[in-house]
Amino acid sequence: MLEASQQLFLLEPYHRQRTKRLIKAPKLYFADAGLLCFLLGFSRHADLTTHPAWGSVWESFVIAEARKRLLASGHAPGLWFWRTAQGDEVDLLIETAPETFLYVECKTAERILPSELKGIKRLAEEYGAKSMHQARVVCRSERAYPLEGKSGARAEPLGGPEGLLAELAAII
């Protein structure tokens, strides 16, 4: 009932026959981060940002907002996540062409280190560099900045002119 009423949605895992064991169970996300925070018992933002669930709430918020932006534009590209049994993960894959994706990681920090691109690097190794249209780490920074020269990965905010949501409008 909650899925039918668009209160929550399932994000399916991306997998092709490859060499690694992959997680194939879908992930559940709330479409409204405010409702999620209410159900978790948060009444103040300060309480949320110091809680262990903060990373999961941020990930849910970023993915829900990206999904809403894409649905509102009238385009419904494939959306997936990728995770191996060993723990390598990319939070969101947005299909930009057949078997080519915008890789998106969600991090609550304001500054991101290149070392936090481990999942993105592993996914590119597994499916080849051609599978990556671009790589983004959505964080709480106010401005976008490059993370690593050769991969073209960059950290960026969710909103604003340099953010993921603006970038999605340009891609679709």
- Tell me the C-alpha distance between 142 and 160, whole Å: 8
In a domain, 117, yes or no: yes
User: What Å distances lie between residue 38 and 34, 42, 48, 67, 114, CA to CA?
Assistant: 6, 6, 11, 21, 34
- The pLDDT assigned to 39 comes to 92
Q: 2 in a domain, yes or no? A: no
Instruction: Please give the Cα distance from 50 to 159 (Å, whole number).
Output: 22
Domain tally, the chain? 1
DSSP secondary structure, 52-90, as one string: TTHHHHHHHHHHHHHHHHHHHTT----EEEEEBTTS-EE
- Is 3 inside a domain boundary? no
Binned at pLDDT 50, 70 and 90, residue 21 comes out as low
Average pLDDT, integer, range 49-54: 93
pLDDT at position 165, please? 95
Average pLDDT over residues 48-61: 95
**Other Cβ atoms within 10 Å of 64 Cβ, number:** 19
Q: Is residue 83, in this structure, part of any structural domain at all?
A: yes
Quick check: 85 pLDDT over 90? Answer: no
Residue 21 or residue 103, greater confidence = 103
Return the minimum-mean-pLDDT range out of 1-15, 53-67, 94-108. Answer: 1-15
> Residues of the chain with pLDDT > 70: what percent?
94
- According to the model, what pLDDT value does residue 30 have? 94
pLDDT of residue 17: 60
- Residue 1: predicted pLDDT: 79
pTM here is 0.91
SS3 110: coil
Say if 121 falls within a structural domain: yes
Give the range of the structural domain holding residue 161, as residue numbers without chain letter. 8-171
Identify whether 93 is part of a domain. yes
Has residue 19 got a pLDDT over 70?
no
Give the tokens for residue 149.
């020269």
With respect to residue 1, please indicate whether it lies within any of the assigned structural domains: no
CA atoms within 13 A on the CB side of 13: 17
| pLDDT at position 4 | 78
